[in-house]
Structure 1
Amino acid sequence: MTEPQQPPSSGFEPKQPAAPDLWAQAATDSGANSPPANAPGWERDVLEKLAFATLAEQRAARRWRTFTRLGWLAFFVFLAWAVMSRDMNTATKSSPHTAVVDIKGEIAAGAEASAEFVVAAMRSALEDEGSQALVLLINSPGGSPVQAGIINDEIVRLKAKHNKPIYAVVEETCASAAYYIAAAADRIYVDKASIVGSIGVLMDGFGFTGAMEKLGVERRLLTAGENKGFLDPFSPQTETQRAYAQAMLDQIHQQFITVVKSGRGDRLKPTPETFSGLFWTGQQALDMGLADHLGSLDYVAREVVKAEDIIDYTRRDNVAERLVKRFGAAMGTGAARALQSSALQLR
């Protein structure tokens, strides 16, 4: 038998089937659940997904805004509660006790030992029916004569109004403006090693005119008023200006002396050094009549007031008040800087 003849080759062999594209197959399988681009209604599916995604994003943003508002609300509620609770605590009538107000650190406006805080605390303490006496617990090197003068005047007024004794108890230091305050108390109690006195006034600063001349630096200060640059550290001080400053210090010093003499009365045993600005130990202060007895806060409450329970009426900034003050200071600083470039200064 003869083999069947193969048809002659035309020179064009049929193409072999291509190997399967595994990557394309995987992509097809993964998108099996998605409608094909040419499937009817695919546009609707895509729009629905976009709409749902937009709604989810809006809900998340709304939740975040709600959370933020609730956070601010909680902050202000806490602030109001802190202020009200402090006032309620100080106004609560209590059993017989010794009231205490701290005067610690620098006596200055804005400080914890400012007239604003100390006077408010003294009033709250003496208005409480349970307080038998007020003790000013002092540990301060001094500060502003104005703030000390306000507190001194208020001590005198409150003693007459409430008919309750006010005592000063000195811890480590009661100097300068702190003693200005203590002088108004009915009695002053000290430790034998306390530092007491420094009845004087000072105004300090620096002068750089000599250094500027050596460095070749020229000071350009324009003023309206011949004494407007008074005490400028970069300008020379005239004899007239020095005499004026000294007269002002002498006047304030005399006010200080008058307050001490009025407060201490016949108990004071003045010497040429008493009002010279020197300071002494508590034991020396007793000998000079600047203090009355040795004693601590507990001693005064137990032996003098006869009310051992001690309640502290000292007013202090709480956390919420400090946050508000810092926020207000930051806002004020920004506003001041915005106006600084165009505003004339009166200082």
Structure 2
Amino acid sequence: MMTQKKLLLVAAVLLMAFSFGALAEGADFPKAKQIRMVVPYGAGGGVDISTRILATPAQDILGQRIDVVCMPGAGGQEGINFVLQQPKDGYTLLVTDYGPLVTTALTEEVSYDLSDWVPLVQITEVVPTFFVLSESPLKDVAEWVKTAKDKPESLTVAHGRHLSVPHLPLILFEKTAGMKNTHVPTTGGSEALAYVLGKKVDVGASVPSTIASTVKAGTVRPLAVCSLERVATLPDTPTMKELGYDVVLPAWYTVFAPKGVPEETLTVLEEKFIEALNSNTAKEMAAKANVLLTPYGRDKTVGLYEGTISSLKTILADVVKK
């Protein structure tokens, strides 16, 4: 029979073995298989573009292939649930804005709690932007408001999915301006842009990175941005606040891991992703795509995530009937 001293010694050895095993597992990551970064939007939109800017240098730094997978089905819930159903090993991650993850959870029944996610790294902060075709008769926001008030719901506005990042400021704008438009939901910013280019709608709501090339080409004209200050990539475009409307709703594109991924793995991902976003490759890709990189680690992203949840609860209570 073992003495109490021997039992304590065995326990200590087992604890050390477990700890070393966990450290080894973190050190070996990500040698086992490729990493998947799931985007709950269609290809070509702002989240997809930003994810690829991160993934391209990150796979070289990590020494492992990274697949960017777009899953826009069920309003983004297909992609979110897919990530949740995978092993909690850090090989399957979610990259999203607050739309399908937070807003949907606050307005609909979902399969997760907001505490089930660990915000890991912010890629960029984006600003919802309203835009029209260059030849549109709507020359500015004032004319948009006047037309919508004179003929309620006569103007159509394409945005992302219901209550997405571009959609919420539209709802808030209508409430503030006292007007009504016909909302046209799409799979994401690239489809909203396509609707405007195809003259299927009068106005589009997306983000600067999605419309930048068409603005530069002169085919699309931005009307306003929903931020406190003007956006560097669209310096001539006024803010909604400048125009007299208190519509300020910028959003983050952030990498999330499901709760349960080992801390050692989270640390590796955080450090290497920040290194990737600070690389020349990421900076060059971001410049071409008109994406302003704002790489934050967990020290900031956790606070931003929690602050967004709090803010959206307040906004949704006022503008959305659950």
**Does the alignment reach a TM-score above 0.5?**
no
- RCO greater where, 1 or 2, for CA within 8 Å and sep 6 or more? 2
Higher strand share: 2
Larger radius of gyration: 1
